[in-house]
Amino acid sequence: MSESMAVVSNAGPLMVLAKLNLLYLLKALYGHVHLAESVYNEIVTEGLRKGYEDARTLFLFLNQMCWKPESVVTASLDWLPPHLDRGERDTLALADKFSKSLVLMDELLGRQAARERGLDVRGSLGVLIEAYRNQLMDGDQLRLYFNEITRRRDIWIDPALAERLLREVLGS
């Protein structure tokens, strides 16, 4: 990833990678990932309160990396669609602060809004594919993680999308 490219993550990819114990890929691929306070509160603060193990994993990882949640002001950003939730809006507003950014987001409407704004977007599956293409995992590992994503009930990614992307990347 280019040094001048800021990477900003919404909740989805952080939760997926925490559930699969693959958060280290974020550091390996991007060096640093920005996240809005509202996203942190949603997935770490609330997740810890509810006893979610992936929230604890994410809390420990973020502390180890010294990646701190960032406050965001969205009042003047009328380009943000009103139908997005707070985390998605704050993620897009934070990404918009940088001259060039990549948004990590799984939610379809948020991804569309990011693209309309000219922001690059990648979802959880895209992060795994990028890790494969950068030789951070082999094809068997990629297939294993995609299968795990489609099998789990606590990861909400369309299994048909995962199967299609896996075929496109691995050819089988």
- In the predicted model, is pLDDT for residue 52 greater than 90? yes
DSSP state of 78: T
- Arithmetic mean of pLDDT over the chain: 93
Name every residue whose Cβ is closer than 8 Å to that of residue 160 and which is 6 or more positions away in sequence. Answer: none
Percent of the chain with pLDDT over 90: 83
The winner for highest mean pLDDT among 16-30, 62-76, 111-125, 158-172 is: 16-30
Q: What confidence score (pLDDT) does residue 156 get?
A: 92
Coil vs helix vs strand at 83: coil
Q: What confidence score (pLDDT) does residue 3 get?
A: 55
Q: What confidence score (pLDDT) does residue 147 get?
A: 96
Average pLDDT rounded to a whole number, residues 51-76:
92
- In the predicted model, is pLDDT for residue 67 greater than 80? yes
133-159 per-position pLDDT tens digit: 999 999 999 999 999 999 999 999 999
Q: What confidence score (pLDDT) does residue 1 get?
A: 56
Q: What confidence score (pLDDT) does residue 78 get?
A: 72
Report d(CA 170, CA 92) in Å as an integer: 31
Is residue 30 within 8 A of residue 1, CB to CB? The reply is yes
- In the predicted model, is pLDDT for residue 2 greater than 80? no
Q: Which residue has the tokens 């999308």?
A: 161
- Superfamily for the 6-124 domain: 5'-nuclease (3.40.50.1010)
Q: Which residue has the tokens 């997926």?
A: 16
Residue type, 114: A
The winner for highest mean pLDDT among 60-74, 76-90, 126-140 is: 126-140
